[in-house]
Amino acid sequence: MSTTPDPPDTDVARRHEDRTLPTRTSVAIVVVGTVGLVAVLLGRVGPALVPALVAIAGALALAGGFWAVSSERFRTVGQVAGGLLAFPVGAGFVIGVVGTALVLVEVYFPVPDAGLIAVNALLLVSRLGIVVGCVLAVLGAVLGVRSVVGPATLSRYYWTVVRTGTVPFAVTAVAAGGAVLSEATGGPGPGATPVGTVTGLVGWLATPGPGLHVASFFVLVSAAAMGVRAAVTALPVAELLADRGVGGVGTRRLGTVDRVLLYVGVATLGAALAGLYVDVQFRTPARLAIAVGPGVADLLAGPTGAPALRTPLVAVGLVAAAVVAGTRLLRRAVRASLTGAARRVGPVLVGGVLTLAALAVAAPAFDRLVAEVAGRLPSVFATEFRQVTGSVGEFYGPETVVLGLMTACLVVAGLLVLAGRLLLWLGYLSSRRAGFATASAGLFLATVFAGTLETPAPLVFGGLVVSLLVWDAGEYGTTLGEEVGRRARTRSGELVHIGGTVAVGVVGVGAALAVRAVLAGRAVDPSPAAVAGLVAALAGAVLLVAALR
Amino acid sequence: MSRVRVRRWTVGLVATLTLLSVGLLYASSTLLAGAAVPLVYVLYGTLSGVPEGASVRVTRAFDRSDPAPGEAVGVELTVTNTGDRALPDVRVIDGVPEELAVTSGSPRVCAALPPDGSTTVSYEMVAKRGEYEFAEPAVRLRSAAGGERATATVAADGDRRLVGTNTVREPPLDDAVLPRVGTLPTDSGGSGLEFHATRAYRPGDPMTRVDWRHYAKTGEFVTVQYREEQAARTVLVVDARPVGRVTGAPGYPTGAELAAYAGQRLYDALERSGITPTVTAVGLEAEGLDGLVGPDGLPWVDGNGRNRTAHAERVFRAAQGVGEREAGEAPSTAVVADGRGRPGGPTDSTGVGVGVGAGATDPDEERTNRLLARLPPDAQVVVCTPLVDGWPVDFCRALSVRGYPQVVLSPDITEGRTVGQRVGSLRRNLRLRRLERTGATVAGWQLGQSIDHALRRSLPHLLR
């Protein structure tokens, strides 16, 4: 008994991690290759460098978000951090793609000659492709280092983003709805508070004023019936009846009430659809009276528009909703653990903070955004853009627009995560190798698009070799990490493998240069025979591939 | 050796087709020519393979034989390429027995080996008692491009079996003769050898005990009392409750295991000295020790019963087994951190529902009551416990109230460096002090020291 244990090295969690991570040498090679090639390629995008860097920052934020939510030890903090990073993710990607496109539009358009439109569009697509490829490469490389991408992490981050987006989305929806409603009813102008909007909506439901309101009446009846049904289900009525010794009878009666309310709710919802047709078709009670006769019209328009009937319905619906919400909340509060609640509420709070921040800087941000975008557009579009945004800003208010843009950024972030989940689910990416595969694909894409521009051939071929090398090193390192682990001595094997890959790459570059010299030496005129020959060559390549498989 | 082709460079084909398509779309000769690059990789992946007749030799060597339990054993694994072709990627995983934990280094390696080249990997593991057979190392060879792999197990030359020594039966030489055994001086006066006190004569006192000199001086009858000597009945209580089944670091023995080990050593030492202690254990309610467990759920091996040594052995083994198994099942809890009063879950899961009237009462209190009900009135109690929670202290306090002499032998498993372990260590020290205040004789066993040292410290008090 002479040795003392060595906890830092024998920690179980660390040992588990040791077996799931790629080996260090391979990771270093991947990172160096990716960073180097991205730096070289970003030199080819010209004026789009700034939005490209913003997009890369967004990619880093996305990777950071994945890292944050994948932490098992600090889950609440991770969720909050992930929520905070969701907005930079969406904003980075939106600015990166839209900004790059705008900058390039500014460079390539307007064109002096109509024939150049297609050519310039291709050039624009190429540069956009380089930017997107570089962003993907950086994202993939950073994710691959810790190999955090997996179905669980993606789902978790997706829900974090959704929770972060709830408050901005709700506030935007209420504000936009208020703007539309006040426009429709001629009420107060833009900038109505959410509370005012809600009370206005309730007031309109209770006393709608002149006109036909058949549909909304039936919707009210349906909502009240369903609300009462939900409230009866939520409240412990059956248990209380059983306590008083009338359980059997009470339960049967409750079942009957439940069924009746359900039928009423569904039937009135159907009636509401018919009512919608009546509302839209006739608009006023007078026109309805002309069409169906005054007796029927009074019977239809009178009760449906009467505040005396509608107000109790609204009240019943609201009370039922409050009861249901109250009981649900109580049940959850009883069951929920504090940490679990904090984990869920954290991102929502982050969304609230983001909303407040957006509201605080809304007006200057809106003006700045409009000026920035309009300044980059060709003058014809710029004037039109200013007009449209001006009227939109006037109608909804700059706060609503800025909030809406923020919500859109969060939606983009959520969609990105969802896209990753979809790719995993469809099997295009395997969760263990997703990071480096993405990095390699991004580098390859960027190199190919760089090749369509006036890039020196050796650089393009070198880029192809590096993109394949990144894939090879990443895949090899991940497999090695799984089989042998990170703590084992693996460097000599890795260096020999990578050395072999580099050597083959040099041979490949030599072959490509030779082929290019041969191709460059022959000027081929675009005759039908040459086109047929090219098609035949492509078909031959496809056949070769099939044969090799 | 099973060979498998891995379609690794299929990505090269995808890249080739992409380059050809985009090259045609943009009419770019650079991209068309660039298709040669991934194509070369595809050819590389197709052509490279694991050489025929590849073979490796693996040799294993331990740096010591017969290690004591808990001692670190260094292992060197040498992998040699015995073929005549270079092997670009050799991966070897040594077959370390599952029971042994590797504490430093890794029993795995990946290396490129030229013909006759070799690589050596060394790692350390913690020895345990018993014999452990190493499995044959798994060897996997890959081609340079990674397009083919061959997997096999290779019989390793050299050491294959690790034998941990220091079995319990081996006598600790220093303790072979104990000073004086078999009787226990008490504080009550009566018949005996040593003077204790005098008291007023009562009718019926033997004439020989009357102090006649005193009568001559004063004319009063006074009876002399001697220190009573009782036959020592020792009860060994092994604490194998789930809360103690934790270890300071993976691979090291758990607290329950060590408590059982200490108990067994103590049992042997006492037995050699002429005392056969009664053995019981707490925390083994669910272990199904048929024939030993009474209706109250306590395994009880009476010191005067038949087959007592074999039965005691069974109890100790069960306690060790349960400690070891628990550590193997849940490695994530293998770090002593807690040390709080009573960590709920595991204690309750085995404790509840076994004993008499185990309704809503605290399982620990229940244990105390059961033990107290079983203890003979003249017993002295030796508790072997890792002291990771407050139960032993409560138990000893209950013993002290009832006048039982107590000895606590406690292996220390809180020697780690993490914050939680330090807190656990502090709390254990506090418990030791509280035990001393209740009047118990406390012997701590630091794992760095020999257990004989701890036994020596506890036994003389017990058997003086």
Residue A197's closest CA among A226, A228, A176? A176
pLDDT of residue B392: 92
B42-56 burial, b if ≥16 CB within 10 A, otherwise e? bbbbbebbbbeebbb
Residue B48's closest CA among B122, B131, B143? B143
pLDDT in tens, A340-354: 777 788 889 999 999
| Distance separating alpha carbons of residues B103 and B96, to the nearest angstrom | 12
| Distance separating alpha carbons of residues B251 and B104, to the nearest angstrom | 12
Q: Is A5 on the interface with B (CB under 8 A)?
A: yes
Q: A15-29, A314-328, B292-306: lowest mean pLDDT where?
A: A15-29
Residue A401's closest CA among A450, A350, A366? A366
Cβ A538–B101 below 8 Å, yes or no? no
Residues of B in contact with A475 (CB under 8 A): 8, 146
pLDDT in tens, A480-535: 988 888 888 888 889 999 999 999 999 999 999 998 888 777 666 666 777 777 77
pLDDT of residue B393: 92
Phi and psi angles of residue B3, each rounded to the nearest 5 degrees, phi first: -105, 140
Strand bridging mode B102-104 / B118-126: antiparallel
Residues of A in contact with B30 (CB under 8 A): 451, 455, 457, 460, 516
pLDDT in tens, B74-89: 999 999 999 888 999 9
User: How many structural domains does chain B have?
Assistant: 4
- Kindly state whether residue B302 falls inside one of the protein's structural domains: yes
Specify whether B267 is located in the same domain as B395: yes
Closest CA–CA distance from residue B120 to any residue of chain A (Å): 10
Q: Is B76 on the interface with A (CB under 8 A)?
A: no
Cβ B106–A492 below 8 Å, yes or no? no
Fill in the amino acid letter for A446: A
Which of A2, A468, A496 is closest, CB to CB, to B15?
A468
Residues of A in contact with B335 (CB under 8 A): 7, 11
Specify whether B253 is located in the same domain as B284: yes
Closest CA–CA distance from residue A213 to any residue of chain B (Å): 60
Residues of A in contact with B449 (CB under 8 A): 1
pLDDT of residue B286: 72
pLDDT of residue A2: 36
pLDDT in tens, A402-415: 889 999 999 999 99
**Who contacts A500 (Cβ-Cβ below 8 Å, separation ≥6)?**
B88, B144, B145
pLDDT band for position B337 (50/70/90)? Answer: very low
Specify whether B80 is located in the same domain as B133: yes
pLDDT of residue B417: 76
**Who contacts B74 (Cβ-Cβ below 8 Å, separation ≥6)?**
B62, B63, B64, B122, B123, B124
Closest CA–CA distance from residue A453 to any residue of chain B (Å): 9
Specify whether B206 is located in the same domain as B84: no
pLDDT of residue A520: 76
Residue B368 has pLDDT above 80, yes or no: yes
Q: Do A80 and A404 contact (CB within 8 A), yes or no?
A: no
pLDDT in tens, B433-464: 999 888 888 888 887 777 777 777 766 655 44
Residue B442 token pair: 């406390």
Q: Bigger pLDDT: B318 or B250?
A: B318
**H or E segment at A299?**
helix A294-305
Residue A504's closest CA among A468, A479, A542, A474? A468
Cβ A451–B30 below 8 Å, yes or no? yes
Residue A519's closest CA among B28, B200, B2? B28
Complex ipTM tops 0.85: no
Percent of chain A's residues with pLDDT above 70: 92
| Distance separating alpha carbons of residues B346 and B152, to the nearest angstrom | 42
Instruction: Burial-class residue A431 by CB neighbours within 10 Å (0-12, 13-18, 19+).
Output: middle
pLDDT of residue B207: 85
SS (H, E, C) A250-273: HHHHHHHHHHHHHHHHHHHHHHHH
Specify whether B317 is located in the same domain as B344: yes
Cβ B38–A496 below 8 Å, yes or no? no
- Kindly state whether residue B122 falls inside one of the protein's structural domains: yes
Q: Bigger pLDDT: A529 or A39?
A: A39
Max mean pLDDT among A13-27, A269-283, A432-446, B284-298 falls in: A432-446
- Angle of CA points A473, A479, A483, to nearest 5°: 140
- Kindly state whether residue B110 falls inside one of the protein's structural domains: yes
pLDDT of residue B183: 58
pLDDT of residue A471: 93
- CATH code of the domain covering residue B243: 3.40.50
Strand bridging mode B406-412 / B379-384: parallel
Residue B335's closest CA among B222, B249, B428, B211? B249
Residues of B in contact with A500 (CB under 8 A): 88, 144-145
| Distance separating alpha carbons of residues B115 and B113, to the nearest angstrom | 7
Interface of B with A in 240-269 (CB under 8 A): 248-252
- Chain A residue whose CA is closest to B34: A512
Interface of A with B in 508-547 (CB under 8 A): 508-509, 511-513, 515-516, 519-520, 534, 537-538, 541-542, 545
Residue B170 has pLDDT above 80, yes or no: no
Query: What secondary structure does DSSP assign to A39-105, as a single string?
Result: HHHHTTSGGGHHHHHHHHHHHHHHHHHHHHHH-SSSHHHHHHHHHHHHHHHHHHHHIIIIIHHHHHH
Closest CA–CA distance from residue B189 to any residue of chain A (Å): 45
Query: CB count, 10 Å around CB of A508?
Result: 25
Residue B352's closest CA among B338, B340, B337, B367? B367
- Kindly state whether residue B396 falls inside one of the protein's structural domains: yes
pLDDT, average across residues A271-294: 82
SS (H, E, C) chain B: CEEEECCCCHHHHHHHHHHHHHHHHHCCHHHHHHCHHHHHHHHHHHHCCCCCCCCEEEEEEECCCCCCCCCEEEEEEEEEECCCCCEEEEEEEEECCCCCCEEECCCEEEEEECCCCEEEEEEEEECCCEEEECEEEEEEEECCCCCEEEEEECCCEECCEEEECCCCCCCCHHHCCCCCCCEEEEEEEEEEEEEEEEEECCCCCCHHHECHHHHHHHCCCEEEEEEEEEECEEEEEEECCHHHCCCCCCCCCCHHHHHHHHHHHHHHHHHHCCCCCEEEEECCHHHCCCCCECCCCCEEECCCCCCHHHHHHHHHHHHHHHHHHHHHHCHHHCCCCCCCCCCHHHHHHHHCCCCCCCCCCCHHHHHHHHHHHHCCCCEEEEEECCCCCCHHHHHHHHHHHCCCCEEEEEEECCCCCCHHHHHHHHHHHHHHHHHHHCCCEEEEEECCCCHHHHHHHHHHHHHC
Specify whether B159 is located in the same domain as B12: no
pLDDT band for position B431 (50/70/90)? Answer: very high
Residue A128 token pair: 């956009």
In this prediction the pTM is 0.67
Q: Bigger pLDDT: B222 or A147?
A: B222
Q: A197-206, B50-59, B148-157: lowest mean pLDDT where?
A: A197-206
pLDDT band for position B350 (50/70/90)? Answer: very low
| Distance separating alpha carbons of residues A112 and A97, to the nearest angstrom | 26
- Kindly state whether residue B244 falls inside one of the protein's structural domains: yes
Residues of A in contact with B34 (CB under 8 A): 451, 457, 460-461, 464, 512
Closest CA–CA distance from residue B202 to any residue of chain A (Å): 60
Specify whether B20 is located in the same domain as B138: no
Q: Do A65 and A388 contact (CB within 8 A), yes or no?
A: no
Q: Is A462 on the interface with B (CB under 8 A)?
A: no
Q: Classify residue A523 by its DSSP letter.
A: -
pLDDT in tens, B195-230: 878 888 888 888 888 889 989 999 888 988 887 665
Residue B104's closest CA among A18, A22, A487, A12? A487
Mean pLDDT over the full length of chain B: 80
- Kindly state whether residue B176 falls inside one of the protein's structural domains: no
pLDDT of residue B182: 54
pLDDT, average across residues A458-473: 94
| Distance separating alpha carbons of residues A260 and A252, to the nearest angstrom | 12
| Distance separating alpha carbons of residues B139 and B148, to the nearest angstrom | 14
Which of A10, A485, A507 is closest, CB to CB, to B103?
A10
Specify whether B446 is located in the same domain as B372: yes
Fill in the amino acid letter for B369: N
pLDDT, average across residues B382-391: 90
Based on its alpha-carbon atoms, the radius of gyration of chain A, rounded to whole angstroms, reads: 32
Q: Is A457 on the interface with B (CB under 8 A)?
A: yes
Which of A448, A490, A500 is closest, CB to CB, to B88?
A500
pLDDT of residue A319: 93
Of the residues B201, B231, B261, which one is the last residue of a structural domain? B231
Phi and psi angles of residue A531, each rounded to the nearest 5 degrees, phi first: -60, -45
pLDDT of residue B162: 86
Q: Bigger pLDDT: A17 or A322?
A: A322
Specify whether B338 is located in the same domain as B436: yes
pLDDT of residue B77: 92
Residue A137 has pLDDT above 90, yes or no: yes
pLDDT of residue B146: 85
Q: Is B450 on the interface with A (CB under 8 A)?
A: yes
| Distance separating alpha carbons of residues A397 and A197, to the nearest angstrom | 15
Using CA atoms of A363, A365, A367, A372 in order, give the dihedral in degrees to the nearest 10.
180
- Chain A residue whose CA is closest to B23: A452
Specify whether B68 is located in the same domain as B30: no
Q: Where are the alpha helices (DSSP H) in A186-246?
A: 194-206, 214-234, 237-243
pLDDT of residue A7: 38
Max mean pLDDT among A47-51, A303-307, A527-531, B149-153 falls in: B149-153
Residue B95 token pair: 């077959």
- Kindly state whether residue B40 falls inside one of the protein's structural domains: yes
Residue A172 has pLDDT above 60, yes or no: yes
Residue B64 has pLDDT above 50, yes or no: yes
CA A498 to chain centre: 37
- Kindly state whether residue B283 falls inside one of the protein's structural domains: yes
Percent of chain B's residues with pLDDT above 90: 16
Q: Do B150 and B2 contact (CB within 8 A), yes or no?
A: yes
Max mean pLDDT among A106-115, A129-138, B322-331 falls in: A129-138
- CATH code of the domain covering residue B111: 2.60.40.740
pLDDT of residue B313: 86
Specify whether B297 is located in the same domain as B356: yes
Q: In what order do the strands lie in the sheet with B379-384?
A: B300-301, B278-282, B233-239, B379-384, B406-412, B441-446
Residue A158 has pLDDT above 70, yes or no: yes
Residue A341 token pair: 């609640």
Residue B359 has pLDDT above 50, yes or no: no
Percent of chain B's residues with pLDDT above 70: 84
Specify whether B281 is located in the same domain as B203: no
pLDDT of residue A249: 77
Residues of A in contact with B36 (CB under 8 A): 508, 511-512, 515
pLDDT of residue A60: 93
Residue B391 has pLDDT above 70, yes or no: yes
Q: A90-94, A519-523, B247-251, B440-444: lowest mean pLDDT where?
A: A519-523
pLDDT band for position A198 (50/70/90)? Answer: confident
Interface of B with A in 191-210 (CB under 8 A): none
Q: Is A489 helix (H, G, I), strand (E, B) or coil?
A: strand
pLDDT of residue B329: 54
Interface of B with A in 309-348 (CB under 8 A): 331-332, 334-335
Residue B135 token pair: 């499995």
Closest CA–CA distance from residue B126 to any residue of chain A (Å): 9
Residue A439 token pair: 């990095």
**What is the residue range of B12's domain?**
2-47
| Distance separating alpha carbons of residues A116 and A119, to the nearest angstrom | 5
pLDDT band for position A537 (50/70/90)? Answer: confident
CA dihedral (A400, A406, A408, A414) positive or negative: negative
Residue B274 has pLDDT above 50, yes or no: yes
Q: A185-199, A456-470, B383-397: lowest mean pLDDT where?
A: A185-199
Residue A172 token pair: 């935007």
Residue B37 has pLDDT above 80, yes or no: yes
Q: Bigger pLDDT: B108 or B182?
A: B108
Instruction: Burial-class residue B456 by CB neighbours within 10 Å (0-12, 13-18, 19+).
Output: middle
Residue A344's closest CA among A170, A154, A163? A163
